[in-house]
Structure 1
Amino acid sequence: MTSITTDAAVATGGPRGSGRRKRQPGWFIPWLFVAFFGVVVAANGIMVYVAMTTYTGLETDNHYLKGLHYNAALEGARAQTERGWKVDLAFQSQAPRKGIVSVTLRDRYGNLLTGSVVKAAFIRPTSANHDVALELPYLGDGRYGTDVELPFSGNWDLRLTIDHSTGDYQNQQRVWVK
């Protein structure tokens, strides 16, 4: 006796009627798309979280108010140039995280500028929590200076401000600390 297979037996997965259908080729492809976009959304979410919870990039406090006074800052820079002071700023790093900052002040005619208040601020370019501000004492012969110890080696911005009865002076330069 020969067995005849019916369409119902093929549709159910075999002649025994197991009740399971055979999956079509490529049935998983839509799930690959879902997984791909799930990974993309998760990666973007992580990047947004990291961007929002780390360094803001804001270096200047009250930047809006300082922007309103920008023309006054330009006028101050022009007056600083007209005074023609000769300011020699030097920083020497001789030991790890230590250095000597010194400033020599002269007016445009070469006369010593005494009686100034000289301040130096070491600003870490990558973080605002490690800045070091100091006032430089007068050492004689137009020189101001002191030793400084910083919390980290590497690049620092040295911001110099000088207040004198004939005017003020500002300058900034990048220095390397061993």
Structure 2
Amino acid sequence: MSMSSAAGHSRRSTPRSPRQPGWYIPWLFVAGFAVVIAVNGVMLHFALSTWTGVQTEQHFLKGIRYNEDLAGARAQAERGWKVGLEFTGTDPLKGLVAVTLHDKHGNLLKDAKVRVTFIRPTSEGHDQTLDLPYLGEGRYAAPVTLTLPGQWDMRLVVDHSSGDYQDQKRIWVK
């Protein structure tokens, strides 16, 4: 009998001791690191999938020419030209860009080379440049069709025998 009772006793499972207090704390650390890794993975995905590639070209040379740019801005302010740069939307993605040029005395500025570049600030490959013809009375204008709705920067460059002029204006195209 002792054999059978001994064999039966060995098959019985020993009662489990209750869990120690704080047994879950290491799992909280594991869960916290899992959340951080998951969030970083999502952020990495969006950072790589939404990058438009927009960057400043020749940034080093532009930095070197900064003092020249400041001198040009002072000369432009001294000339005192009165320049109006306007964009009027006519249809979706279409509009009319117009520039009016007068010197500081109100005289018309004709025989100028007027160029407007439409720059898409959020993505590359959509920029376009227009040379505006002279229409009379200091007015230069041309129609434009853009490729995307949204924000655009109009960059104006005017070359005239009495000097040059640059300006930029942000517009919203429907």
Q: State the TM bucket, normalised to the shorter chain.
A: 0.7 to 0.9
The partner residue of 1:92 within 88, 91, 94 is: 88
1:24 shift after superposition: 4.8
Deviation readout 1:30-73 (Å, 9 max, x if unpaired): 33432331231232133235335543785421222211111110
Q: Distance in 2 between matches of 1:18 and 1:38?
A: 40
Q: 1:122 aligns to what?
A: 118
1:102 shift after superposition: 0.6
- Aligned runs of 1:18-57 on 2, under 5 Å? 22=16, 24-25=18-19, 29-52=25-48, 54-55=50-51
Q: Distance in 2 between matches of 1:106 and 1:166?
A: 12
User: SS at 1:102's partner residue?
Assistant: strand
User: SS at 2:104's partner residue?
Assistant: coil
Q: What do you get for the CA RMSD once the two structures are aligned?
A: 2.9
Note closer, same or farther for the CA distance 1:30–1:61 as it changes in structure 2 (3 Å cut).
Answer: same
- Aligned runs of 1:27-176 on 2, under 5 Å? 29-52=25-48, 54-55=50-51, 59-176=55-172
User: SS at 1:46's partner residue?
Assistant: helix
Unmatched segments (≥5 aa) in structure 2: 1-5
Q: Distance in 2 between matches of 1:150 and 1:85?
A: 29
Give structure 1 regions of 4+ aligned residues with deviation exceeding 3 angstroms: 18-24, 26-29, 56-59
Whether contact under 8 Å (2:109, 2:138) holds in the other structure is yes
Whether contact under 8 Å (2:54, 2:123) holds in the other structure is no
Q: TM-score, structure 1 length as denominator? A: 0.80
User: SS at 2:115's partner residue?
Assistant: strand
Matched residues, number: 168
1:125 shift after superposition: 2.2
